[in-house]
Amino acid sequence: MSPVTPRPNDDLVLLGRDPISPDTLVRHVRQSHDGAVVTFDGCVRNHSHGRATLYLEYESYESMALEKMKEIAASLHTLFAIDSVAIAHRLGRLEIGETSVFIAVSAPHRKAAFEACRHAIDTLKKTVPIWKKEFFADGAIWADGELPPVPAATPAAKPAS
Amino acid sequence: MQARVLFFGKLKEIAGGPERSVDFHPGETIAELFERCASQKPELAPFRSSVVASRNQEFAPWTTVLESGDEVAFLPPVSGG
């Protein structure tokens, strides 16, 4: 996750095993013409469904996940009056308290930055092919998730039998 | 014709591995490809209604007709974040 010279609308999308650097992402989106930077820091909680969590493991369909994250970043520009976006998601084993996902959105005004950041994390959780396994003292389970929306069949497709 | 089939999350454990090559006949759909996988590994069958599919890294309906060389993934509910 190397620092990048920021430019307007130059979004940053990262998916990998290295720890996420929130400072790098905030610096990336923050420009002199912005009046607001809103961030979301998703971190590993020490409990789930009433049980003490030991750690989490994230895996993904990496090439598709990265594309879906880029699509989210691009969509924010069409939906909200924002400047730029940085999204990072981590994979592999994460300990309690570590950041699993971080989103930073800059905008001239705060309302668009808040709304876009919320939209980004909500959409990520529904559409990006990443899976979380929760490890407890007495076993491990795949976390409940959301089934991504799938486009309707096109006329070219064969009718369901 | 052959497709590269990928399994993720819980499905990977049930399928017994992350990927396999599956032969299919021209004109077959993603749904039929899943049936072929489930006939090899019957434990997969109950997951048909609780997963979605992608074809060449785009979410795709079950009725999508496959082409040789396609990369098809079966994706359980996603839980990133």
The residue ranges of DSSP E strands in B1-81, in sequence order, are 2-7, 19-23, 52-55, 58-60, 71-75
In 3D space, the residue among A132, A127, A136, A130 whose CA is nearest the CA of residue A144 turns out to be A132
Q: Is the pLDDT of residue B54 over 50?
A: yes
Q: Could you give the number of structural domains in chain B?
A: 1
B9 in any annotated domain: yes
CATH code: domain of residue B17? 3.10.20.30
Residue A37, chain B, CB below 8 Å: the answer is: no
B80 in any annotated domain: no
Q: Is the pLDDT of residue B8 over 80?
A: yes
Task: Give A144's DSSP letter.
Answer: P
Q: Which residues pair with B65 in a beta bridge?
A: B29
Per residue in A73-92, pLDDT (tens digit) is 999 999 999 999 999 999 99
B81 in any annotated domain: no
Rounded CA-CA distance B40/B45 in Å is: 10
Q: In what order do the strands lie in the sheet with A12-16?
A: A12-16, A84-90, A99-107, A36-43
Q: Could you give the number of structural domains in chain A?
A: 1
Range of the domain at A72: 12-139
B30 in any annotated domain: yes
CB contact under 8 A, B62 and A160: yes
A160 in any annotated domain: no
Mean residue pLDDT across chain A: 92
Structure tokens, B23: 């032969």
A vs B, Cβ pairs < 8 A, gives 108
Burial B15-40 (b: 16+ CB within 10 A, else e): beeeeeebebeeebbbbbbbbebbee
A3 in any annotated domain: no
Structure tokens, A136: 């407890």
A-chain CB neighbours of B53 within 8 Å are 150
Q: Is the pLDDT of residue A1 over 90?
A: no
Residue A130, chain B, CB below 8 Å: the answer is: yes
Q: Are B6 and A61 in contact (CB under 8 A)?
A: yes
What is residue A76's three-state secondary structure? helix
CA B66 centroid distance within chain: 11
Interface-testing mutation among A94, A133, A147, with chain B (most B C-beta atoms within 10 A) = A147
Residue A138, chain B, CB below 8 Å: the answer is: no
Q: Are A1 and A18 in contact (CB under 8 A)?
A: yes
B53 in any annotated domain: yes
Interface-testing mutation among A67, A135, A150, A161, with chain B (most B C-beta atoms within 10 A) = A150
Q: Are A11 and A73 in contact (CB under 8 A)?
A: yes
pLDDT at A7: 45
B59 in any annotated domain: yes
Backbone phi and psi for residue A5, each to the nearest 5 degrees, phi listed first: -70, 120
Range of the domain at B19: 2-75
pLDDT at A94: 98
Chain B, residues 45-74, CB within 8 A of chain A, namely 50-54, 57-65, 73
Interface-testing mutation among A57, A123, A142, A161, with chain B (most B C-beta atoms within 10 A) = A142
A152 in any annotated domain: no
A113 in any annotated domain: yes
Percentage, residues of chain B above pLDDT 90: 100
Q: Is the pLDDT of residue A5 over 50?
A: no
Q: Are A106 and A30 in contact (CB under 8 A)?
A: yes
Kindly give the interhelix angle for A110-127 and A62-79, rounded to the nearest 10 degrees: 150
Nearest CA in chain A to B19: A61
ipTM, 2 decimals? 0.96
Residue A125: how many other CB atoms lie within 10 Å: 17
Nearest CA in chain A to B56: A64
A-chain CB neighbours of B57 within 8 Å are 61, 63-64, 67
CATH code: domain of residue A132? 3.90.1170.40
